[in-house]
Structure 1
Amino acid sequence: MKFCELTIDEFDSFVKDEFSHYTQSRAHYTGREAMNMDVHLVGVKEGERILAACLLTGAASLKFFKYYYTHKGPVMDHHNKELVQFFYTHLTQYLKARKGLFVLVDPYMTRNYLDGDGNVTEEQPVDDVIQTMESLGYVHRGYPVGYSMDSQARYFSVLDLTAKTDDELLKEMEYKTRRNINKTIEMGVQLRDLADDEMDKFFSLYRMAEDKHDFSLFGLETFKRMKKMYGDNARVVMAYIDLNDYLSRLQEQLSAKRTEFEASNEELKQNPDFRKLKNKTAELEKAVHQIEKKIAETEELKQSDGDILELASAIYIFNNHELYYLSSGSNPKYNKFMGAYHMQWEMIKFANQLGLKRYNFYGVSGDFNEETSPDMGVIKFKKGFNAYIDEQIGDFIKPLNGPAYKIYQLMKRK
């Protein structure tokens, strides 16, 4: 075996074939390189065969040092003890030669599969991996629950697309989710991609989510860079509704319902004592009034907010293995149009059309307790699509310069 730097083509070919995260990709490498950021491609080869590949990034720390990080890498069989020992031993030498202070690795590796309620359905072997990593000087940072600015989410909400038709996927969703998706179709909610010069539309809706959940992560420029970096493997989409189209649909519904009511009412006049017919006629009259009310409310909304309502928006990235739902936002004023449901459904179909195996709704806190969970609404929303939970193994950290790392820790505590 030989530890070496990989060419971009070698790296790209390997991660396309081996299950890997979108951050371990050609686009991520070339994007960071274009911004003159410190980025490395390393791996292990046996002859011409690649056994491991890893994209690493570096950033300045303590003025004279760098800390290194591999987001959801390296891509390799972590149960292959010989390979793990060889890769990480040589990685230490590689990074020490480049003034490494410490390295943080975050393998894309499942610890447990859980159902949507947080109950473990299948355990995956990870103890051997942790033991090998610790023997190499890596400290496993445990199994934290919740969100942290120091590490990635450990719990992903995932929909399995394997060998399923769109109809099968829809049928397997919870009744409420399926009903809401069908309602958006009936209302005429639509989805379109946003152009580069429309990113402010996405960001405006994203900020509404920040305000709702009281968090602040990224600025507009970060999302612009992300969209540019991942190019054809990124989509920024927006769910919207044209109120003129919606009004036309309502008028058609009203006309049909009025016809039903008038016919039922005429029949009732001929059979005034038929209780079942009386109830049916009353229900039809109620339905007519409800549609008339919707039309009046929509006319009023059109006058105040315009013809087109921007409901929800999100940025998605995909590779050969998964489509990832990363960041999103919606306008709570327009919740009744359920733009988020329509957006998810259209993108699930898109992922299925690409032949991907997983639709990754991305991170949840991992706290499934109704009383303590900071994101129970989000967890339930994703669960409704028949998503399961993929609990990750978590982070490992290794000091590369002991004395300097102790200083770093002391400074971090202040």
Structure 2
Amino acid sequence: MLFVKITPEEFEKFTHKHFSHYTQTRINYEAQQQAHLLGVKNDDGNVIAAGMFTEARALKFFKYFYSQRGPILDYSDISLVNFFFKSLTHYLKQHNCLYVLLDPYILENLRNADGEILQSYDNRMLIRTLNQLGYQHQGLPVGYSKTSQIRWLSVLDLKDKSEQQLLKEMDYQTRRNIKKTEEMGVKVRQLPIDETSRFFKLFHMAEEKHGFSFRNQQYFEQLQKDYQEYASIQLAYIDLNEYKDDLIKKLDSLHSQLKDAEVALEESPNSKKQKTKRTQLMQQITSLQRKINDTETTIASDGSILDLAAAIYIYNDYEVYYLSSGSNPTYNAYMGAYKLQWEMIKFAKAHGIERYNFYGITGDFSDTAIDYGVQQFKKGFNAHVEEYIGDFVKPVRPVLYKLGKLIGKL
């Protein structure tokens, strides 16, 4: 075996054949200013392990390296693990590295949406091996962190399932909400980069609602530029003029049915069936007229086109990732978020992608969790939960690393 720098072409070929995260792709590598493609080749010259490592300045004179959701290799092959990470340490020392962070895309537990373990993966040998090599496991935390990737992901399995089956396996209310968005005429379209502000306005509403601050608008613009056609912002919106016209057509139909019912009652004044039908039609007419009035009021105050919800997505060969989103709570009745998810699930199916990744949750499955509502929303689509192995940190220069931690500079 040989530890080498590999070419972007070799990296791309390897990630096309081996399950990997969207951050471990050639297109992400080409967007980075400082990144290293490192791998192991066997005696036949074939790449059998690979990873992208970005670098950044640490303590002014040193470097910090990070392999986000990497590197990619067969972690059950302990001899390969030993060789890769021993060689990596040697390489990092040559490149003035202070420390390196890894968070491999390795499952710790597969759980249902309520947090119950369905399958466990025994990573003890791997953790022990990496610890012996100086790559210290940072534990199995719950919650969100500003310094590491989320460890808990909500994922919908699309493999060998039709759209009809996916809908059938969803929660009844979720399925009903999707149907209602279609009845109301909620649409989804991709926003061009120069309309990112429309997404960011909705995203900022989510920040205010949940009391967090994540990224600025320029970050999301750059993300789209970096990932090119593999990243997009999708907007769920409604044209209230079209919606109102549809309501009016339905109202006209109800009035016609009511006339027929009244004629039938004149012919059979004691018909219980026709009396019930007339009562139901009058109730439906009243409800529909109220919707038309409310819609006209909203058009007058807010305009005819309403931005309901928006999200930024990235996809690769294996997954569609639902990264960040926002919605206008004033328009929750139009349920734009449900339409967004369903359209992008169909997008994944159309592109032969087998996983729809709703992305992060806290891992706190109590009804007091800060993301309880988010978890219930994702659960409604029949998503399961994947718990990952977490972070490993290797202090390449242990004394300086410890000093940096003590003075709060890392």
Q: Into which bin does the TM-score normalised by the smaller protein fall? A: over 0.9
- C-alpha deviation, 1:173, in angstroms: 0.8
Residues 354-400 of structure 1 show CA distances to partners (whole Å, capped at 9, x for unaligned) of 001100000011111002x0100000001111100011111111111
Compare 374-383 and 251-260 and name the one that shifted more. 251-260
How far apart, CA to CA, are the structure 2 residues paired with 1:379 and 1:264? 47
Residue in 1 that maps onto 2:376: 380
Residue in 2 that maps onto 1:56: 53
Alignment gaps of 5+ in structure 2: none
Compare 46-55 and 351-360 and name the one that shifted more. 46-55
- C-alpha deviation, 1:56, in angstroms: 0.5
Question: Where does 1:180-219 land on structure 2 (aligned, <5 Å)?
Answer: 180-219=177-216
- C-alpha deviation, 1:277, in angstroms: 3.8
2:59–2:409 Cα contact (<8 Å) kept: no
- Letter of the 1:263 partner, please give it: D
Question: Where does 1:57-72 land on structure 2 (aligned, <5 Å)?
Answer: 57-72=54-69
- C-alpha deviation, 1:193, in angstroms: 0.7
Residue in 2 that maps onto 1:26: 26
Secondary structure at the residue paired with 2:182? Answer: helix
2:186–2:238 Cα contact (<8 Å) kept: yes
Residues 235-280 of structure 1 show CA distances to partners (whole Å, capped at 9, x for unaligned) of 1110111111101111111122222233233334444444454333
Question: Where does 1:143-182 land on structure 2 (aligned, <5 Å)?
Answer: 143-182=140-179
RMSD of aligned residue pairs (Cα, Å):
1.3
Residue in 2 that maps onto 1:3: 3
Aligned sequence identity (%)? 47
- Letter of the 2:20 partner, please give it: S
2:186–2:336 Cα contact (<8 Å) kept: yes
Residues 155-184 of structure 1 show CA distances to partners (whole Å, capped at 9, x for unaligned) of 111010101111111111111011000100
- Letter of the 2:300 partner, please give it: Q
How far apart, CA to CA, are the structure 2 residues paired with 1:87 and 1:220? 38
- Letter of the 1:40 partner, please give it: H
- Letter of the 1:29 partner, please give it: Y
How many residues are treated as equivalent by the alignment? 409
Residues 290-341 of structure 1 show CA distances to partners (whole Å, capped at 9, x for unaligned) of 0000000101111111121111111100000000000111111111111110
| Residue 121 (1) aligns with residue 132 (2) | no
Secondary structure at the residue paired with 2:73? Answer: coil
- Letter of the 2:342 partner, please give it: W
- Equivalent of 1:368 in 361, 365, 379: 365
- Letter of the 2:404 partner, please give it: Y
Secondary structure at the residue paired with 2:139? Answer: coil
Residue in 1 that maps onto 2:283: 286
* TM-score normalized with structure 2 length: 0.97
Question: Where does 1:72-151 land on structure 2 (aligned, <5 Å)?
Answer: 72-151=69-148
* TM-score normalized with structure 1 length: 0.96
- Equivalent of 2:329 in 328, 332, 338: 332
- Letter of the 2:292 partner, please give it: I
Alignment gaps of 5+ in structure 1: none
How far apart, CA to CA, are the structure 1 residues paired with 2:400 and 2:106? 30
- Letter of the 1:410 partner, please give it: L
- C-alpha deviation, 1:53, in angstroms: 0.5
The 1:300–1:45 alpha-carbon spacing in structure 2 relative to 1, beyond 3 Å, is same
- Letter of the 1:4 partner, please give it: V
How far apart, CA to CA, are the structure 1 residues paired with 2:144 and 2:261? 57
- C-alpha deviation, 1:64, in angstroms: 1.2
How far apart, CA to CA, are the structure 1 residues paired with 2:405 and 2:140? 21
How far apart, CA to CA, are the structure 2 residues paired with 1:242 and 1:8? 45
- Letter of the 1:408 partner, please give it: G
| Residue 343 (1) aligns with residue 334 (2) | no
- Letter of the 2:159 partner, please give it: T
Residue in 1 that maps onto 2:405: 409
Secondary structure at the residue paired with 2:408? Answer: helix
Residue in 2 that maps onto 1:245: 242
- Letter of the 1:101 partner, please give it: L
Residues 82-132 of structure 1 show CA distances to partners (whole Å, capped at 9, x for unaligned) of 000000001001111111111110000111111111111111221221121
- C-alpha deviation, 1:347, in angstroms: 0.5
| Residue 227 (1) aligns with residue 224 (2) | yes
Secondary structure at the residue paired with 1:108? Answer: coil
- Letter of the 1:141 partner, please give it: Q
How far apart, CA to CA, are the structure 1 residues paired with 2:409 and 2:14? 40
Residue in 1 that maps onto 2:37: 41
Residue in 1 that maps onto 2:306: 309
- Letter of the 1:196 partner, please give it: I
How far apart, CA to CA, are the structure 2 residues paired with 1:122 and 1:3? 34
Residues 196-254 of structure 1 show CA distances to partners (whole Å, capped at 9, x for unaligned) of 21111111111111111111111111111100000011111101111111011111111
